[in-house]
Each structure stands twice: as structure tokens, then as C-alpha cells.
């Protein structure tokens, strides 16, 4: 994958509408299985321009792993592992080479994936993004397209990048209590959201400006009297915006209940991670109590042997007799906490929209309800 040319990481992303439509088509065709693909474009100043995309081939599971019929790989798991698979890395390089031959933007700027109800924060997502940012000077991004929330009519697409502090911690590979306290890393510091702008290509914009409006009252347009009248046609004015009445719908968002259920599941997963950590703390405390008792006993023995003129015994022998439990990684707890925050933001957005409508109805602010 080609490295970016600028020294500082871009602070915003710009994607063409055609690429958005291509991602939507790919994600909708594979739903509910996760869809993943590669993003290509250009790194211009502080903006990452996404001008093309292509999907990854379907991941093929390891034949040796298919021997156990009770552990069949999940299609979504295989699709999420596709961006960092060795075969797909070769495939990306070949595609980028072919795009460069036809004079198309061929810089690898990241990858995309589909999600459902904002459920995308996982170890696989982090591993993929770390793989891309490490290969591109931390300038690649991940586009997350939510198929479920976009089914209502709006396009829900976000751009994310791993924060520098999390990249350093993930590169070190230590997520214990000591390293987290030293780096002051929190679950809020895992991802950075980039502003995402959708625009049309210059060719499509030129085409839209040449499309005339429909004649008023179905009347026929007169023939132009001169060549100059073709360039000053009053009927080429922009079409007025069509009113959107979806904002007047007073029904509660249908995704609010499902998001609350997923939020509760994530909280239970976070509670499980906390219980595992507390179990480790209790087990460590029990072993340390045994070690302390053994050390006191050994010191007493050494004092008696010294008084008797005998050589003292090794006081560090406890390292061979006792084995302290290994602290579990806190990475999963951080990811679950970030997923809980993601669901909480969605609930807050749904609740704010519904509350505004309800207050509007109560205060007779809608058209036709004036006193």
C-alpha cells in the first residue's frame, strides 16, 4: 500500500457520491453479513479525498479449521478478517496497479465496512484499522456504513481513525493496569471521528448544470432566436428544494427500542469483563497472602540458622513455589466501553429528535395548530 505524501494526518475526509452509492449497493447485497472493501483516492493537504472503491473477495476459511463441524467460521467474521488477509493484500496491490495504468487515483486511503445498528467496535475492526494506519503513516481511515439505520431513507456513514495514543498502546501490546495508568488511556480515546463530506464529481456536476427544468404548466419552450440565447436560458435555473415531510412524523424512531436492547447487552458484556478483572484481583490477593506468610516463615528460619551459625536459605525461592495469576488484557473492556458509548450516543440522538417533536406538538408549534 502506498504511503501518503503529506507529513500531517488529514483532519477531514471527502467522498464522491458515486463511491457512496457503490458502498451502499455492496453492503445492502450482503446484509446481514458484513461487507468490506478498499478505498482509493488522494491525500491533498489536510483532506483525504475518496474517489473510488472496490470490494474484497469473499474470504475462504482455512481447510484445516473445517474439520470441526461445531466451530464453523462465521461469514461476518471471515469478511471482517478480509482486509488484512495476505491474499487480499496482494489483490489490493494488483487493483491499485491496474487503476494507476488507466490514470485513476490509485492511492490506498483506507477501507470500509458495513454494520448494523452501530455495532462495529470490535477487536477485528481495531486490528484492521491498525494494519492500515501502520502501513500508511497513520493517515488511512475506516468508513462505517450502517445498513439498518440507513434503511429508513437517510445515509448513515461515519469516518474513523485510531487515535495516536491508542496506536502507541496497541503497538506495545500491553493493556494491563500499570500501562493504562501510565498512558492515561480511556475508552473515549480509542477512535477519532473525522468530518465526512459527500460531493459529486466535476463531470457529474457539469452534467447536472446542463439539465433544464421542466417547462412551466407543461408548455412548450420557444425555439432560440440566436446562439446567445442558448447560454442565457432562464429555464436553466436550479430546481427548488422539494419539501421533506419526514420531519413532521411524530412516531417514535423504530430503531430506538432495538438500540436500547443492544445497549443493555453491551452493559452486560462490560459487567462480565469487570467480574473477570475482579476475580483476578481476588486470586492475586490470595496468592500474595500465601507468599507473605511464606516469606515471614523463611525469615524466621534464616534468623534461627544465623544464630546457629548455619548458612541462610534463599528468600526468593517463593518465585519457584508460587505462581501469581496473569492479569487479563483490558483491551476487550476498553472496546466494550467504547461500544456502550456508541449506543448511548445513538439513543441520545433518537431521544433528542423525538423530544423536540413532542415539545413542538405540546406547544402547538406545528402548522395548523395555532390558537
Query: Can you read off the three cell numbers belonging to residue 293?
Result: 506468610
pLDDT of residue 2: 41
pLDDT under 70 in the chain at which residues?
Answer: 1-8, 59-73, 137, 152-153, 212-224, 226-253, 363-371
pLDDT of residue 237: 44
d(CA 236, CA 213): 6
d(CA 298, CA 295): 5
**Residue bearing cell 436492547:** 261
**Residue bearing cell 433518537:** 350
Answer yes or no: CATH 3.60.15.10 is held by domain 12-59+75-204. no
Long-range CB pairs of 218-226 (<8 Å, 24+ gap) are none
**Residue bearing cell 439505520:** 149
DSSP H/E element including 111: strand 107-115
pLDDT per residue over 112-139, tens digit each?
999 888 888 888 899 989 988 887 767 8
d(CA 146, CA 299): 64
d(CA 328, CA 318): 23
d(CA 365, CA 369): 7
DSSP H/E element including 53: strand 47-55
Alpha helices in the chain (DSSP H): 17-30, 75-81, 86-101, 123-135, 147-150, 164-172, 177-183, 202-210, 228-231, 254-307, 318-321, 331-362
Q: Which DSSP category does 12 fall into?
A: E
Its pTM stands at 0.72
pLDDT of residue 112: 93
Residue of 73, 74, 76 whose CA lies nearest to 31 = 76
Q: What are the residue ranges spanned by the domains of the chain?
A: 12-59+75-204, 254-364
pLDDT of residue 240: 44
pLDDT of residue 144: 92
Amino acid at each position: 500500500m502506498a504511503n501518503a505524501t503529506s507529513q500531517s494526518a488529514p483532519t477531514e475526509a471527502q467522498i464522491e457520491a458515486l463511491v457512496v452509492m457503490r458502498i451502499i449497493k455492496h453492503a445492502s447485497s450482503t446484509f446481514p453479513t458484513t461487507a468490506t472493501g478498499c478505498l482509493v483516492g488522494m491525500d491533498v493537504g489536510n483532506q483525504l479525498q475518496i474517489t473510488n472503491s472496490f470490494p474484497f473477495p469473499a474470504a475462504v476459511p482455512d481447510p484445516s479449521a473445517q474439520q470441526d463441524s461445531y466451530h464453523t467460521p462465521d461469514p461476518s467474521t471471515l469478511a471482517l478478517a478480509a482486509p488484512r488477509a495476505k491474499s487480499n493484500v496482494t489483490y489490493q496491490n494488483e487493483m491499485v496497479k491496474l487503476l494507476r495504468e488507466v490514470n485513476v487515483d490509485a492511492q490506498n486511503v483506507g477501507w470500509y465496512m458495513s454494520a448494523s445498528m452501530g455495532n462495529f467496535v470490535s477487536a477485528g475492526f481495531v486490528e484492521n484499522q491498525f494494519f492500515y494506519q501502520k502501513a500508511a503513516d497513520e493517515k488511512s481511515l475506516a468508513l462505517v456504513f450502517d445498513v439498518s439505520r440507513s434503511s429508513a431513507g437517510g445515509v448513515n456513514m461515519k469516518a474513523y481513525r485510531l487515535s495516536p495514543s491508542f496506536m502507541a498502546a496497541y503497538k506495545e501490546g500491553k493493556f494491563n493496569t500499570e500501562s493504562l495508568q501510565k498512558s492515561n488511556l480511556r475508552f473515549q480515546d480509542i477512535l477519532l471521528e473525522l468530518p465526512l463530506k459527500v460531493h459529486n464529481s466535476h463531470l457529474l456536476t457539469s452534467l447536472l448544470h446542463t439539465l433544464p427544468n421542466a417547462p412551466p404548466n407543461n408548455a412548450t419552450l420557444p425555439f432560440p432566436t440566436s446562439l446567445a440565447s442558448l447560454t442565457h436560458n432562464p429555464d436553466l435555473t436550479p430546481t427548488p428544494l422539494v419539501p421533506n415531510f419526514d420531519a413532521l412524523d411524530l412516531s417514535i424512531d423504530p430503531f430506538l427500542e432495538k438500540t436500547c436492547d443492544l445497549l443493555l447487552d453491551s452493559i452486560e458484556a462490560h459487567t462480565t469483563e469487570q467480574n473477570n478483572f475482579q476475580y483476578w484481583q481476588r486470586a492475586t490477593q490470595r496468592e500474595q497472602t500465601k507468599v507473605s506468610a511464606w516469606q515471614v516463615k523463611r525469615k524466621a528460619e534464616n534468623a534461627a540458622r544465623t544464630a546457629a551459625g548455619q548458612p541462610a536459605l534463599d528468600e526468593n525461592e517463593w518465585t519457584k513455589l508460587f505462581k501469581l495469576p496473569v492479569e487479563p488484557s483490558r483491551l476487550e473492556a476498553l472496546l466494550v466501553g467504547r461500544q456502550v458509548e456508541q449506543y448511548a450516543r445513538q439513543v441520545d440522538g433518537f431521544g433528542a429528535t423525538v423530544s423536540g417533536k413532542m415539545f413542538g406538538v405540546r406547544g402547538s408549534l406545528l402548522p395548523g395548530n395555532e390558537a
